[in-house]
Chain A
Amino acid sequence: MIVAVLLRKLMEALLTLICATVILFMLIRLAPGDPAVLLLGQPSEVAAMHTEVYEQKAAELREQWGLDQPMAIQYVSWLGRLVQLDLGTSLHTGRAVSAELAERLPATLQLTAAALAVQLLLGFWLGIVSALKAGTFSDQLIRLACVTLASTPAFVTGLCALLLFAVTLGAYEISSEASWSRLWLPALTMGLASMPQFARMVRANMLAELGQTYVLAALSRGLARRRVIGQASRNALLPLVTVTALSAATFASGAVVIESLFAWPGIGKYALDSILRKDYPVIQGYAFVMVTLVILIHLCVDVLYAYIDPRLQRKRRQVTRGVNEHA
């Protein structure tokens, strides 16, 4: 039974991935201008090259990418290269895009994991406190703080943090290295930005569970309040496994802002720099890696869910609705 579910999920994920590559491929074709020029850089921007050399290079590129062949064949051969993890070469450095991205991925994953830890710790704590004291002053205070924090752009929080810790206190070193001593501030900023939504969900799930009749029944039979709440919170917080995984996906892509603000050398900052340099193959490679990552995470969530509790399969869609949008 579970194997069948897994297989179906795997097929669906694969289909989604293929559709996503079609979109990525179509986007290149929809872009104004000659793809060869796009890949090579505008003639005016490649100043060091003679016109004849440029034309020759462009012709080579057209040949290499099969740009004179029908679209379907182009797509299939592009897909073939993707399967071999050949994402092309960077226009800026001339190195393989896959190598460039692989070099910077650990820094992004490190940041993502740390931010996730911040989000989970604070979110669970504030969410549970807020639910248990629902309607009291501390609940309202927590909710107000969460709404305010949710209304603050991450880059404003980040700028304020930089101003306070790097300039005023001198406790944070401004450089462009990925080191443990530089991790805490961007991780804190990122975690704080996504925490309110998570705390809100923890609170809502807790309240929904505490409102169930079995909780009332257990309490009226004289069970200790602590134990009842402990049991109920296990039921209430299980669905949040998926929310956690999905926010990891949002982090990995949303890291662009934080990475660029704190000069954290991850793939987000690299992709942004590449946009400004018009390094097209890098952007394409980055988008492909990100989409694959998100699909993998979605797949893991589905598998995890089938494993934890097959009954909850349908419920998940409601719980996670609206989490994935707008990083």
Chain B
Amino acid sequence: MHSTRRSVSLIAGTVLLGLLAVLIAGAHWISPYDPVQQHAAERLEKPSAQHPFGTDRFGRDLLARTLHGGQITLLSAMAALSGALAIGLAVGLAAGMFHNSLLDRLFMRMIDVLLAFPFMVLAMVVAALFGTSLFHLLLAVIAVGWVTFARLARSVVLQARNETSFAAARVLGASNRTLILRELAPKALSPVLILATFELGSLILSIAALSFLGLGAQPPTPEWGSMLADGREYVLQSPHIMFGPALFIMLSVLAFNLIGEGLRDRLDPYEKPQL
């Protein structure tokens, strides 16, 4: 019974994600409106057959904006994640390979320091100093995000180093490079990728939250968080304007959370109830 439920969450997440991907990729065909074209005569219209999500304060079609915004939100989240993943993996592999060396200690110290920087605070400092834009926001995300992956990769590598296959490869005269790429990297990759699935959901939430504060994508770019920020003053009078972006943020984070949950349940031996 449990194994079926676990698969259900994995399958439901994947299906949901696929559905969202199709909707977002097909934005042009699904909604014929231009996401940035303003129509003064159609301001703040309620949802109708013509505009399923209604229109915003500039008369722009909200369905078109939501779908086009999805491309920006999801692609930027993935870009930030890949950056963090690459750095985290590289640092984790190097620190684990040369355990207790100066390099390892330096990296660990850096990780400790970065853990003291709350993500929000760093993003705010970067936005204040370098200016508010999506690019700077992503840089801040990467600067903090790699730490989690580095710690995980390092701990996996430290375990893998104790295995016979690693010792054998070393005895056979494999170079450090070969050891890292052939012996350690493949073992670290799968747990790190699973963590990444889970992180993608929280990354979308963070990016949306910061965009909502005005620190991310700037108008008129359609992006879910900034769409909500844009409609903030009008949302109490015409609540429908937050429906589209809020729904899509929720669904996409839900999809990644379900996939992550499903993967974790499969691999986590602890959560098997026995009582």
Contacts and interface: CB of A to CB of B under 8 A. Distances in A.
Given A16-B116, A294-B116, A211 B242 contact: no
A286 B120 CA distance: 12
B5 interface: yes
B273 A135 contact: yes
A262 B43 CA distance: 26
A31 interface: yes
Contacts, number: 184
Contacts of B203: 326
A156 B225 CA distance: 10
Nearest to A32: B130
A215 B158 CA distance: 33
B109 A19 contact: yes
B273 A156 contact: no
With most chain A CB atoms within 10 A of its CB, the pick from B109, B120, B272 is B120
Interface residues of A, number: 72
With most chain A CB atoms within 10 A of its CB, the pick from B116, B130, B249 is B116
The SS class assigned to the A binding surface is helix
B148 A283 contact: no
A270 B67 CA distance: 34
B213 A326 contact: no
Given A27-B129, A150-B257, A254-B120, A207 B209 contact: no
B69 to A, nearest CB: 14
B97 interface: no
Taking residues whose C-beta sits less than 8 angstroms from the other chain, chain B's interface range is: 35 or more
A77 interface: no
A207 B265 CA distance: 13
Given A135-B1, A275-B127, A153 B121 contact: no
Interface string A244-277: 0000011011101100100000000001101110
A141 interface: no
A291 interface: yes
With most chain B CB atoms within 10 A of its CB, the pick from A153, A154, A162 is A153
Contacts of A327: 118-120, 206
B125 A253 contact: no
Contacts of B215: 275
B42 interface: no
A132 B275 CA distance: 8
A237 interface: no
The SS class assigned to the B binding surface is helix
Contacts of B5: 140
B236 A256 contact: no
B270 interface: yes
Interface in A302-327: 321-322, 324-327
A259 to B, nearest CB: 10
Contacts of B70: none
B53 interface: no
A2 to B, nearest CB: 22
A211 B113 contact: no
25 contacts: A23-B113, A30-B129, A134-B275, A148-B250, A152-B249, A155-B212, A156-B242, A156-B250, A159-B242, A207-B272, A215-B275, A252-B118, A253-B119, A256-B213, A257-B209, A260-B213, A275-B215, A278-B128, A280-B128, A283-B125, A294-B116, A321-B148, A325-B199, A326-B206, A327-B118
Q: Which 10 A-B pairs have the closest CB atoms?
A: A253-B118, A134-B273, A151-B254, A151-B253, A31-B129, A19-B113, A208-B270, A283-B128, A210-B275, A156-B246
Given A150-B257, A156-B250, 16 more contacts: A19-B113, A27-B125, A27-B126, A134-B273, A152-B246, A155-B209, A156-B242, A156-B246, A249-B118, A252-B118, A275-B215, A287-B124, A290-B121, A291-B118, A326-B206, A327-B206
Interface of B: 1-2, 5, 109-110, 112-113, 115-122, 124-130, 132, 144-145, 147-148, 151-152, 195, 199, 201-203, 205-206, 208-209, 212-215, 225, 228, 235-236, 239, 242, 246, 249-251, 253-254, 257-258, 261, 268, 270-275
